[in-house]
Amino acid sequence: MAEIIEFIVTDLTRFSRHDYLCTAGITLDGSRCIRPFRSDATNMARYLPYAKCKEYNVQPGSILRGAFTGPTHLVAPHIEDLDWSKLEIVRSATPAEFKSALEASLSPDISVGFGLPITSKLIPTPLIPSRSIITLKIQPNQIQIVEIEQNGRLKLRANVALPNGTYLSRASITDLGFFDSVGTGKTISVSTINAFIKTQKEIILRLGIGRTPWPPDDDNGGYWIQVNGIYTFPDYEKILRTYK
């Protein structure tokens, strides 16, 4: 039997193509993380269509309601997956509601969050994290947005120095708003975003991992930690998040 759940969108993350988005959120009390999913679909069709998210302007802070059932085979680390139907937007959360839900879901540190000792942005195989998304709070001086050149293209990355001593060097930023709006030739330059971050009191991050270890069947591969959401307080709404 389906369960009706309301949750605040906290993760709106891009893939290499814009056909689909990976969307996740937490219940208003912060007790549960939900990733709308289609376990009966294949490949990218398991996620929400980009066009539908754009049509309804689904954003971080949107409150969604849906009927959810658990997938037949739910295994770590992606324990947040739930099959959905009748998904709809209820309203936008207030800034206070958004921050409260994020803070209620906080992990004390990255290792506790993922259930494994974490020393870098790579969780090597055969280790399997206990979950695929966590929430951490850091100070503004603990994160720096950078651009690197890779295969002739500029890529947006984050350097994050966590309180437990873990350093995430050039972690991929999958936060759709940052990816679309920050960087060379985009609405906000890297220097401008870093200057803005320094004016904030605190930063809340949503950190996630990919669907499968990469490279597959490689002793040097594993789950790569990526930055799903970067939320600055008190002014998280000043980060531009629009659909192309």
Write the CATH number for 65. Answer: 2.40.50
Q: Nearest CA to 134 among 235, 11, 46? A: 11
Residue 243 lies in a domain: no
List the domain range (segments joined by +) for residue 52: 3-97
pLDDT at 75: 83
In a domain, 114, yes or no: yes
200 within 8 A of 235, measured Cβ to Cβ: yes
Q: Under a CB-based contact definition with an 8 Å cutoff, are residues 209 and 130 in contact?
A: no
Domain count, the chain: 2
pTM for this model (two decimals): 0.95
* Range 182-187, long-range pairs (CB < 8 A, 24+ positions): 182/145, 182/156, 183/147, 183/154, 183/156, 184/147, 184/154, 187/240
pLDDT of residue 209: 96
Reduced to 3 states (helix: H, G, I; strand: E, B; else coil), residue 56 is coil
Residue 244 lies in a domain: no
pLDDT for the residue numbered 97: 93
Residue 119's contacts (CB-CB under 8 Å, 6 or more residues apart) are 166
- Give the pLDDT score at 195: 96
Residues 110 and 92 in one domain: no
Structure tokens at 45: 């069709």
Last residue of a domain, one of 63, 80, 97: 97
Per-residue pLDDT of the chain (244 residues; tens, 9 = 90+): 899 999 999 999 998 878 999 999 999 999 999 999 998 899 899 999 999 999 999 999 999 999 999 876 778 999 999 999 889 999 999 989 999 999 999 999 999 999 999 999 999 989 999 999 999 999 999 999 999 998 888 999 999 999 889 999 999 999 999 989 999 999 999 999 999 999 999 999 999 999 989 888 777 899 999 999 999 999 987 776 777 7
Residue 240: per-residue pLDDT = 66
* Beta-bridge partner residues of 106: 135
Q: In this structure, are 129 and 212 located in the same domain?
A: yes
Is there a single domain that holds both residue 129 and residue 39?
no
Which pLDDT score, from 0 to 100, does residue 151 have?
Answer: 85
As a whole number of angstroms, the distance between CA 6 and CA 66 comes to: 7
How far CA 223 is from CA of 1, 15, 176, 197, 208, in Å, comes to 33, 16, 20, 28, 9
**Quick one: 113 and 187 in the same domain?**
yes
Q: Where do runs of H (alpha helix) occur along the chain?
A: 50-55, 95-104, 110-114, 176-181, 190-198
CA distances (Å), 136 to each of 57, 106, 131, 163, 178, in order?
26, 6, 14, 10, 18
Q: Residue 17: what pLDDT?
A: 77
Residue 121 lies in a domain: yes
Q: What is the pLDDT of residue 16?
A: 81
Q: Are 179 and 153 part of one and the same domain? A: yes
